[in-house]
Amino acid sequence: MSGAEIVGWAHSKFGKSDAGSTRELMAEVINPALEHAGITARDVDGIFVGVFNNGFSKQDFQGALVAMAADGLDHVPAVRMENACATGSAALYSALDFIASGRGKIALVVGAEKMTALPTRETGDILLSASYREEEADVEGGFAGLFGRIASHYFQRYGDRSEELAMIAAKNHANGMKNPYAHMQKDFGFDFCNTVSDKNPYVAAPLRRTDCSLVSDGAAALVVAAPEVAAGMKRAVGFRARNHVNDILAMSRRDPIAFEGARLAWQKSLGEAGVSLDDLSFVETHDCFTIAELIEYEAMGLAEPGSGYRVIREGVTRREGRLPVNPSGGLKSKGHPIGATGVSMHVMAAMQLCGEAGEMQIPDAVMAGVFNMGGAAVANYVSILERTK
């Protein structure tokens, strides 16, 4: 293992926040993250910010907002990354590269998004910018419509798996009950998730409301440090492997239900780490829609294409199963403030590995997999994490 390690973190409550801007959201997590790592602002060599924005706010230049949100960071170089729904992981990986290059010893990573201030239709149009507008701008329902198409293609090829999608939704909502940061802390149960009703209508058939992640506000932060610095910290979580693999943006130019970029990212990271899925204690995966989690089972190697339904039916990914997936509740329950999501997923994993996950804690967690994707499996990030101190 080499490269920077996670030595501290902080996480806001996800949901509809009273905070009026990403600056205010960042202010909720920056100082707590520094305190958790046992450092001060003067110890930070670089700041890496993940905010998608793209119209959620007229204020941009988001990297510069960090110094406006916390004292002592005025002259620290700061940059902002954007990679659709993987924006947070893009910021994190850039911070890791910064330290690996020798340009700094400690970096602060902040992911944030303020999404709930706009009408639903405007929010949907902004999110659709993470698709290939030239061909996909006419999709009704925004990104839900895109994943509705993916679900339809999947069902046409492999059979209707609506029941299994409901099982995934029910699992993640049950897990979210244990997560104090989650947007939706409600256990809906399988029957509700599996039934189309006034309270659970189709959003983009065959996807129902319970198949879709939530529009949320929130922020998360990580402090990462060079190994020699991390050795003197209270806690440290290292990256046994990390890989970013892209795929073609236009769905017309690839098999939209293969998630080939995700498969390759998992393959590369597991190979570099020298481990298999059997060595992982849990996985935090990108369940922006339940069909995404189902296909991701196949991409990570838990099942052959078309057989992902068996994974949830057999209980493999339930909290008490062989490989718990999304013990945090995932995006489905925790929420999906775009820029914060990738950072949040790594925070959730680090909390588990350091035994600081409270009611969410997976007993004896020693190694984790994190999968965060931008767009419809376009920008794919896979981290294999383990505690080093």
- Indicate which residues carry an active-site annotation: 85, 336
**Nearest-angstrom CA–CA distance, 13 and 340:** 11
**Nearest-angstrom CA–CA distance, 176 and 170:** 10
**Nearest-angstrom CA–CA distance, 275 and 7:** 23
**Nearest-angstrom CA–CA distance, 21 and 10:** 18
Q: Could you write out the DSSP letters of every residue in 41-93?
A: GGG--EEEEE---TTS-S---GGGGHHHHSTT-TTS-EEEE-BTBTHHHHHHH
- Kindly list the distances between the CA atom of residue 340 and the CA atoms of 99, 112, 374, in Å, as whole numbers in the listed order: 21, 4, 12
Q: Angle between the 142-158 and 290-300 helix axes, to the nearest 10 degrees?
A: 50
Helix, coil or strand: residue 193? helix
Helix, coil or strand: residue 18? coil
Could you tell me which of 325, 334, 318, 327 has the C-alpha nearest to residue 300?
Answer: 325
Neighbour count for residue 227 (Cβ, 10 Å) = 17
DSSP state of 214: P
